[in-house]
Amino acid sequence: MPELLAFIIVMTEDNKTKNPAIDEMFKAGVQYGYSKSRRHPSAKDAILGVKNRVEIFNLEKTVELLEKAKSFVKTLAQDKKQILFVGGKNEARVAIKTTAEKLGMPYVAGRWIGGSLTNTSEMKRRIARLLDLVEKRDKGELQKYTKKERLLFDREIDKLEKNFRGLVSLKGMPSAIFIVDPKFEKSALREAIQQKVPIISLLNTDCNMEDIDYPIPGNDATRASVEYFAKEIASAYEETTKS
């Protein structure tokens, strides 16, 4: 591990200054990309070199682009606008859910449901159904039904909660969307582009950076790295709303 850090420092153009943010990224494993054979052409400028056949991100470039993303997030926070957090892959689910709930923001920490942004009337209908059933269950109003009918209601509630619980707080179209791994979340990416929702994204070397308004090149395949960037975005929002 120390050898890799030395490798990164030596290959960095300006190695006379040490950025604390780079140290934090290094500890979180942000620097690891994929093999060169998986690299998307648009990621070329974000790569510093190769170590043990794995491409290494230029963390100075990552810091620069992260700051741009955070500046954008701060402008959203000034008017308390909503950001939709999306990360359904196993490495991202916990960080996305935790971060979004902390901010009181909508999220998708599982499978993206088609139409979440492009068919809002259907989304509202499904969410209204979820809230209605939960309210009736909590008030005991479902007790009048047979045991079999209550079981069916419970199954419907479970399914609706799995798919839509994170979207209950979404008020209309979000002002931005934060996506972990846009290649994995291609449906969410496509709908955001279609609806012209600004996209902030943590993306690895296999993703197309040109699709993203605010790309953040870095490791999107480990929990520590995803958690680091989710916290950075959340902190930028919180700092502005509390100031």
Using 50, 70 and 90 to split pLDDT, how confident is the model at 8? Answer: low
- The fold adopted by the segment(s) 1-117+173-243 is Rossmann fold (3.40.50)
User: What is the structure's pLDDT at 17?
Assistant: 47
- Give tens-digit pLDDT for 71-87: 999 999 999 999 999 99
Residue % of the chain over a pLDDT of 70: 92
* Residue that the structure tokens 């620097």 belong to: 31
What tokens were used for 210?
């040109």
Of 243, 242, 240, residue with least CA distance to 72: 240
What is the spatial distance between Cα 126 and Cα 160, in angstroms, rounded to a whole number? Answer: 7
- Give tens-digit pLDDT for 128-160: 999 999 999 999 999 999 999 999 999 999 999
At residue 49, does pLDDT exceed 70?
yes
* Residue that the structure tokens 């399914």 belong to: 159
Helical spans, DSSP H, in 28-92: 59-78
At a CB cut-off of 8 Å and minimum separation 6, what does 7 contact? 49, 51, 56
What is the spatial distance between Cα 143 and Cα 136, in angstroms, rounded to a whole number? Answer: 9
What is the spatial distance between Cα 54 and Cα 201, in angstroms, rounded to a whole number? Answer: 21
* Dihedral sign for Cα atoms in the order 21, 22, 23, 25: positive
Q: Where are the domains of the chain?
A: 1-117+173-243, 120-167
More confident position, 53 or 214: 214
Please name the amino acid found at residue 29. G
From the options 1.10.10, 3.30.70, 1.10.287, 1.20.120, give the CATH code of 120-167: 1.10.287
Least confident piece of the model among 12-16, 51-55, 128-132, 173-177: 12-16
User: What is the structure's pLDDT at 16?
Assistant: 39
pTM, two decimal places = 0.90
User: What is the structure's pLDDT at 243?
Assistant: 65
Q: Rounded mean pLDDT of the chain?
A: 92
User: What is the structure's pLDDT at 19?
Assistant: 82
- Give tens-digit pLDDT for 196-221: 999 999 999 999 999 999 999 999 99
Please name the amino acid found at residue 65. L
